[in-house]
Amino acid sequence: MTASSGDGGRTWTTSLVSGLPGSTGSMAALAAGPRGRVALAWLEVDAGGAYRPVLSPSTDGGRTWLAPVPLSDLPSVGNLHPLSPFDPYGIGHYLGVAIGSDGMAHVAWPDLRPRGTDSQDVDVWTRDLAMP
């Protein structure tokens, strides 16, 4: 999912961050903050189409990454009837992350949870996570 270059892009490391086995990372968002702090957020999508937002922090400008932290205890199932071939989950691309002056990673992501038998409403959820 990520690679790093220490020489202006002439050479690159191998993948530094990857998802769980059998999953795909989707809609990644990256933010840089003070003192070399970097946050990478993405949706971890399993083979069945359920997804869960995760965040991986770095304290050295992205050269190394800590293990991904799940941002939600429950996966979301996505929209079974997407309106566009460009959005297979039917949720739009609303994932974002920022690192505030408070040292927190502020993450927002789309999540679809049923509210009844025919509801397909997408909400934008947020979570603040302390950076190491």
- Choose the weakest-confidence range: 60-64, 115-119, 124-128: 115-119
Cβ count within 10 A of residue 48: 10
Average of per-residue pLDDT across 27-45: 90
Q: Work out the percent of the chain whose per-residue pLDDT is above 90.
A: 26
Q: Give, as one character, the DSSP assignment of residue 34.
A: G
pLDDT over 80 at 93, yes or no: no
pTM over 0.85, yes/no:
no
Structure tokens at 35: 């003192």
- Choose the weakest-confidence range: 2-6, 75-79, 115-119: 115-119
Give the CA angle between residues 30, 110, 74 to the nearest 5°. Answer: 100
Q: Give, as one character, the DSSP assignment of residue 15.
A: -
- Sort residue 36 into left (φ over 0), alpha (ψ -120 to 50) or beta: left
Residue 82 identity (one-letter amino acid):
P
Look over the chain and give the mean of its residue pLDDT values, rounded to a whole number. 80
- Rounded CA gap, 124 and 27, in Å? 14
The predicted pLDDT at position 81 comes to: 54
Q: Which three-class secondary structure state does DSSP give residue 127?
A: strand
Under 8 Å between Cβ of 79 and 88 = no
* Structural element, H or E, at residue 62: none
